[in-house]
Amino acid sequence: MNKQKTPVNTLTRNLSDLAAPTGNIYETVVILSKRANQIAIAEKKELTRKLEDFKNDRDTMEEIFENREQIEISKYYERQPKPSLVAIEEFKNGEVSYRMAKEDNE
């Protein structure tokens, strides 16, 4: 998913359009929330990995010194669209695969 095409602010959406692929808005919400969590976890891991380069074992709370590159990395991630908005765009574009658990009728 290209995050640059994802809106960074909240949009009003038609619930019928969102529910159409699954036939149930609640199932759609569950799918979207699980995908948003996956995206958020991946972004957090990526950010943590990038910020690890700036970690210094000798730093204490009083000795933390600001690094311009570290600040720019943090600002970049702050400007990214929210994971829930990315998940909705992926779902609308058919980029999210999901499967329903089969009901046991026995």
Tokens of 104: 């046991």
For the chain, what is the HEC assignment?
A: CCHHHCCCCCCCCCHHHHHCCCCCHHHHHHHHHHHHHHHHHHHHHHHHHHHHCCCCCCCCCCCCCCCHHHHHHHHHHHHCCCHHHHHHHHHHCCCCCCCCCCCCCC
Q: What is the pLDDT of residue 4?
A: 54
User: 104 by DSSP, 3-state: which?
Assistant: coil
Give 45-83 pLDDT, tens digit per residue: 998 888 887 776 555 554 455 677 888 888 888 888 999
- pLDDT average, residue stretch 80-96: 91
Query: In percent, how much of the chain has pLDDT > 70?
Result: 81
Q: What is the pLDDT of residue 11?
A: 77
Q: What is the pLDDT of residue 46?
A: 92
Measured between its terminal Cα atoms, the distance across the chain in Å is: 41
- pLDDT average, residue stretch 17-28: 92
- φ and ψ at residue 13, rounded to 5 degrees: -125, 150
Q: What is the pLDDT of residue 51?
A: 81
